[in-house]
Amino acid sequence: MGSIYDVVAATNLSKYSFRSASERTMDSNKSLSKCLEWFTEYEIEILKPDYIVCAGNAVRGTLNKLEGVKIVKVAFPSLLVINRWHKKYKACKKYKSDEILSMLPKNDLEKGVAYNKRNLEYVIKRDSVYFSNMYSEINRQLKCIP
């Protein structure tokens, strides 16, 4: 099995953010659409992805207009969202962190991530409900499993 890093690319639609005096993000659908027009359309043209995993609502309608690319929608993976919406269900839902971990090569799981000098395996286990929900949602949208 090859590395997931050989077949997945990541980008952030918002290449810059507008912030208020209190440091709150003030991005609007208009500014995000401009980022899409100025930058992301070129990234998509160069990378020629089969799928785009879109975490967030701001530009899904615009992305859906792109031809030949399947848009897969998932919940936004910020720690605030994970802690507010996903962790509270951990006790009552069956989650699939072992299944998700088994799909990735050991080298990928040991790869460091920017979060407190931890590795990918740690993050998947820590946020197992979020990743389980993401996994189920991707499978549902791509109809990979019944």
Domain parsing of the chain, residue ranges: 1-74, 77-146
Exposed e or buried b per residue across 117-139, where buried means at least 16 C-beta atoms within 10 angstroms of its C-beta = eeebbbbbbbbbbbbbbbbeebe
* H helix or E strand, kind and range, residue 80: helix 79-81
Instruction: Encode 5-66 in three state secondary structure.
Output: HHCCCCCCCCCCCCECCCCCECCCHHHHHHHHHHHHHHHHHHHCCCEEEEECCCCHHHHHCC
Task: Spell out the per-residue pLDDT of the chain, length 146, in tens.
Answer: 688 888 887 777 666 666 677 777 666 777 777 777 777 778 888 888 888 888 766 666 667 667 777 888 887 776 665 666 666 555 445 567 788 899 899 999 998 887 678 898 988 888 888 888 888 888 888 887 54
- The pTM of this model reads 0.69
